[in-house]
Structure formats: C-alpha cells, structure tokens
C-alpha cells in the first residue's frame, strides 16, 4: 500500500478516536447554545514565528463530521509563519467548528513545533549530503502526525514501526549471542518469508563494525554513540559497502560536526521530543 493511502487510513482512525475521546456522549456546551444546523466561519490565527504544519490535517478533521466544510487556505504546510497572519478560514456548521476546534489546535500546534525544530536542524545540514531522520521516540497514538511534521520540516522518516524494517539493536544482538548470529538469523528470516525489508544493525565500537563487514548481509550500519573521529574511521572501513547512520549524543550544537564526517544519515529523537508547541488560535469570524 502506498504512503498516501496508508496515511489517509491511519489519519481517519486517529481523527475518529480523538473525537470519540473528546466528545464522548456529546458536546453539551455547544448543543446547549448553538442551532445544530447553523453555519459559520472561523479564522486560524497565527501567534508565533515558525514553520506551519497541519493545515491539510485540519481540513480532514473539519470534513470528518461535515462533508460540506470548506477551507480557504492563505498559507500551506511548510510555509514560514509570523504572528498576526491567518492560516485559513473554515466555513462549516458552527457545531462542527466548535467541536473540532481543540483537536485542530492540538494537532497543528504540536506539528508546527516539530516542523519548526526539524527545519532548524535541516538548515544545519544544507552543505552536506547527510539526511536527518526521526526515530520511534514518539507520543503513543500520535506518531503518524509527529512523523508527518518531520517531513513537512524537511526531515526524513526512519521506520514507522516495528514492521517496516529489520533493525538489530544492542538488546537483539545480546539476546542472539552476538553480531554474527543476529545478522544471519535476520537475513534468513527475511528471505524465507519473502519480506521486502531492509536490515540495519547497531554497532557500539569499531570492532563491531569490523565484525559486520565480515558477515555482510545488511543494508545499513548504525554507528551508535560514536564520536565524529570514530565515525570517520568507521566510514573508511565500510568504504561505501553499506549505508551509514549516526545516532546518540547528537544535538543542534554538534550535528554539523557529525555531518562533516560524510555519514549518510543522522537520526535524532530530539526533533520530536524536544519540540515546543507553537501558539495558534481559532476565532469566530462574525460577519456583520
């Protein structure tokens, strides 16, 4: 299944579950004072500097309960945003606008914060071939939109879950009895089950890298908690035979020194779990 179809399906499920959680047996505040058939307009107002993310998601949320909802977009996902600007105008049933308001804001504020921090990291890598990856260090049941925000900010998604890549980390290796049996068993499993999955293995030192090189049968080598000088040494040993990824102890201040080693990828949990939500608001547009 292609990314777009998978995303649409998962987003539909996310919206349904989120509205079920929030609305429950009914949005009684709105039901008490608003005609369920009345229509209205509202504006998404921007109150922070950053990268806007979640406009397309907001459109899906408003359309979930009102197929006739119309969004007039003034800004789009990935655009720079500044206080005082308007991202979009929504025209829908007033009940729908008020019921969806908090979900839209929660998603867009969080996504915009992640996209903004991701863009800062990506800008540090503009002079290098290294690509920035996210990780599985995400909020349970919100990973879909956190990873989408990374894409909007210019980063790339690592595996989405445990099902779309074979990633042999330290505990897998230790439980298997070492690098050699871990790789061999993973490679055999992939081929016996005819799975189109890449195999990545974590290495903790140069000796681990040398062991992987002897065995082969992987697509990418993760260099975990290596210093830049150690990564350079490892890259010389690997010599282009496999993709390389650096992770561990890498932050905004030192990421450029890691990119300068020539490593193919840098993965960072910080672009998601260190991101701060940005300030947005949804205000009723009263037409006189």
Looking at residue 5, its pLDDT comes to 78
Looking at residue 1, its pLDDT comes to 44
Every domain of the chain with CATH number 3.90.1170.20 lies at: 3-118+277-285
Does the active-site annotation cover 102? yes
Name the CATH architecture for the domain at 123-273.
Alpha-Beta Barrel (3.20)
The answer to whether 223 and 247 have CB atoms below 8 angstroms apart is yes
Q: Which of 102, 127, 174, 283 is catalytic?
A: 102
Every domain of the chain with CATH number 3.20.20.70 lies at: 123-273
Q: Which long-range contacts (CB under 8 A, 24 or more apart) does 143-146 make?
A: 144/7, 144/10, 144/11, 144/14, 145/11, 145/14, 145/54, 145/57, 145/107, 145/110, 145/111, 146/110, 146/111, 146/114, 146/272
- Strand order of the β-sheet with 166-168 is 131-133, 265-267, 243-247, 220-224, 199-203, 166-168
Does the active-site annotation cover 169? yes
Q: Which of 202, 208, 245, 264 is catalytic?
A: 202
**Structure-block tokens of residue 6:** 């998978």
Q: Is 252 helix (H, G, I), strand (E, B) or coil?
A: coil
What's the rounded Cα separation, in Å, for the pair 23 and 230? 53
Element (H, E) at 33: helix 28-33
Torsion angles phi and psi, residue 273, rounded to 5: -85, -5
Could you give the angle at which helices 94-124 and 143-152 cross, rounded to 10 degrees?
50
The pTM of this model reads 0.95
From the list 214, 247, 216, the residue with the least C-alpha distance to 230 is: 247
Looking at residue 46, its pLDDT comes to 98
Q: Which of 47, 131, 137, 211 is catalytic?
A: 137
* Per-10-residue mean pLDDT, the chain, length 288: 79 98 96 94 98 98 97 98 98 97 98 98 97 97 97 97 97 98 98 97 98 98 98 98 96 96 97 97 81
Looking at residue 240, its pLDDT comes to 97
What's the rounded Cα separation, in Å, for the pair 4 and 99? 27
Does the active-site annotation cover 233? no
What's the rounded Cα separation, in Å, for the pair 127 and 125? 6
Looking at residue 239, its pLDDT comes to 97
**3-118+277-285 maps to which CATH number?**
3.90.1170.20
Concatenating the DSSP letter of every residue in 122-151 gives HHHTTTSSPEEE--S---TT-HHHHHHHHH
Rg from Cα positions in the chain: 23
Looking at residue 85, its pLDDT comes to 98
Q: Which of 21, 169, 174, 283 is catalytic?
A: 169
Q: Which residues contact 251 (CB under 8 A, 6 or more apart)?
A: 268, 270
Q: Which of 146, 224, 245, 264 is catalytic?
A: 224
User: Which residues make beta-bridge pairs with 133?
Assistant: 156, 267
């Amino acid at each position: 299944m292609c990314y777009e179809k998978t995303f649409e399906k998962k987003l539909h499920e996310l919206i349904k579950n989120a509205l079920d959680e929030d609305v429950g047996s009914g949005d009684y505040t709105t039901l008490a004072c608003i005609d369920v058939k009345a229509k209205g307009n509202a504006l998404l107002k921007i109150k922070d500097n950053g990268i806007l993310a979640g406009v397309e998601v907001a459109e899906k949320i408003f359309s979930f309960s009102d197929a006739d909802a119309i969004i007039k977009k003034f800004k789009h996902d990935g655009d720079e945003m500044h206080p005082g600007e308007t991202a979009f105008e929504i025209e829908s049933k007033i009940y729908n606008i008020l019921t969806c308001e908090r979900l839209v804001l929660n998603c867009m504020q969080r996504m915009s914060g992640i996209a903004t921090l991701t863009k800062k990291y990506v800008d540090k890598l503009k002079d290098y071939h290294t690509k920035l990856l996210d990780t599985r260090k995400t909020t349970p049941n919100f990973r879909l939109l956190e990873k989408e925000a990374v894409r909007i900010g210019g980063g790339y998604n690592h595996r989405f879950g445990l099902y779309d890549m074979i990633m042999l980390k330290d505990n897998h290796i230790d439980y298997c009895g070492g690098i050699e049996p871990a790789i061999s068993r993973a490679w055999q499993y992939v081929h016996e089950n005819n799975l189109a999955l890449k195999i990545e293995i974590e290495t903790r030192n140069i000796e681990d890298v040398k062991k992987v090189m002897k065995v082969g049968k992987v697509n990418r080598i993760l260099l975990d908690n290596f210093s830049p000088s150690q990564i350079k040494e490892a890259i010389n040993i690997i010599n282009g035979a496999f993709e390389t990824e650096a992770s561990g102890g890498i932050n905004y201040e030192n990421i450029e020194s890691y990119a300068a080693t020539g490593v193919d990828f840098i993965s960072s949990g910080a672009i998601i779990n260190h991101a701060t939500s940005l300030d947005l608001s949804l205000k009723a547009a009263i037409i006189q």
